[in-house]
Amino acid sequence: MFEVINAWNLVCPSGELENAISNINLRAYNKETYLTGEFASKLSNNEIRPLSVSNIADRYCPTRRDLYFYKGINRLSRLSSDEHWGGKAGYIVEDYVKCISEHEENLALNNYSSLVEQGNTLHDTFCGEKTESISNLRNLEGSTLSGNEGDTDWLLTLLSYTGRAELAIKILHSTLKEEGSLDMNHVQVNQHIEPNITEIGLNSPAKPDFIVPQFKITGDIKTGVNFEPHYQLTCAGYALAYENWMKDESDINWGIIYFFPTRNPSAYVRPITFTQIYIFPIDDYLRQWFLDLRDEAYNIISKENHPSFPAEDNRTHCRYCKFKSHCISEGLELSDEYQ
């Protein structure tokens, strides 16, 4: 998380990108962002269940069958217990980042060797506390569902290096910080947000990975192979949720993605990678994109029938989906590459 603080203080985006946030109209306390009466009524009458930010932003199945089976009028009563390596790795990364952020030992270190030693100690302690989770992650490495893409030992190595980098940046920040700088005490981790569900259509409580109201920032920790543009939608959703909750008392203008590459797309080279920080304005374009997807999602889950299968050449996500077995029972055919 200290990498977020360092990046923000170095970039000072509110000065360079002021025009991008100066004319935001789609604030979530304005009625043009509200749900239509039809969907609001169905929510009030418990005909449909409210959607979370991730339900809307994390679009995997092209036809959104997965969303319908989870939240639709005729949703499935039970979920498959299938798990995959990438999803479980994401939880471990999030826990590690929060562990580093809460680390309060003395950082008056005078060389790299002492910092590496302290980073290793912190890493070993974390691994000891997460023995069961790490063991479960290793068990998923060779499964068909994982696609043989997970390498738990390499992930832990990258986490160790990231921890050292975070501690180093914490020391740097303690030296460079000044009045007006973003500091760790400004960051709220896992803050509960309570929007009006029937107004904005977002579940309450919503819980972003981190939010910095004083600096008008909301942020999310993401993992995977590559940064995906739709990750920014998560920040837009949490910004709208916060604005709807606080009304016109506090706007959110900026999104930050803390992206940690958990998997290497190359089978030949395993580069050492560090966290990537993405800072962007949550402007009207991004807000409208999220609101359009929200309305589309509510339209889908409000129907009596679930969506059709995705096209045969667009079933990449099927092997990770909790509802794969159900779709196969309904006649879905998957080639070997999508199994």
pLDDT tens for each residue of 205-230: 999 999 999 999 999 999 888 888 88
Q: Is the pLDDT of residue 202 over 90?
A: yes
Q: What is the pLDDT of residue 291?
A: 97
Q: Who has greater pLDDT, 331 or 213?
A: 213
Q: Who has greater pLDDT, 235 or 322?
A: 235
**Residue 124, C-beta contacts closer than 8 angstroms, at least 6 positions apart:** none
Extended beta strands in 145-243, E state = 188-189, 210-212, 217-224
- The answer to whether 242 and 223 have CB atoms below 8 angstroms apart is no
- Give residue 230's domain range: 2-338
**Residue 304, C-beta contacts closer than 8 angstroms, at least 6 positions apart:** 73, 74
**Residue 289, C-beta contacts closer than 8 angstroms, at least 6 positions apart:** 233, 236
Structure-token pair, residue 120: 């290793």
Q: Is the pLDDT of residue 104 over 70?
A: no
Q: Which residue, 160, 128, 130, 136, is CA-closest to 88?
A: 136
| Residues 243-247, mean pLDDT to the nearest whole number | 93
Q: Count of residues for the chain?
A: 339
In the chain, the number of structural domains is 1
pTM of the model: 0.89
Q: Which residue, 142, 84, 55, is CA-closest to 317?
A: 84
- Pairing type for strands 276-281 and 210-212 reads unpaired
Q: What are the pLDDT digits (tens) for 293-312?
A: 999 999 999 998 888 888 88
Q: Who has greater pLDDT, 148 or 150?
A: 150
Q: What is the pLDDT of residue 235?
A: 96
Rounded to whole angstroms, how far apart are CA atoms 286 and 120? Answer: 40
Q: Is the pLDDT of residue 108 over 70?
A: no
- The answer to whether 280 and 234 have CB atoms below 8 angstroms apart is no
Q: Is 230 helix (H, G, I), strand (E, B) or coil?
A: coil
Query: Which range is least confidently modeled, 57-66, 105-114, 310-319?
Result: 105-114
Q: Which residue, 222, 234, 219, 235, is CA-closest to 187?
A: 219
Query: Which range is least confidently modeled, 120-124, 269-273, 297-301, 303-307?
Result: 269-273
Rounded to whole angstroms, how far apart are CA atoms 165 and 143? Answer: 32
Q: What is the pLDDT of residue 123?
A: 93
Confidence class of residue 264 from pLDDT cuts 50, 70 and 90?
low
Report the chain's mean pLDDT, rounded to a whole number.
Answer: 86
Phi, psi of 299, deg, nearest 5 = -65, -40
Q: What is the pLDDT of residue 207?
A: 92
Enter the DSSP assignment of 216. Answer: T
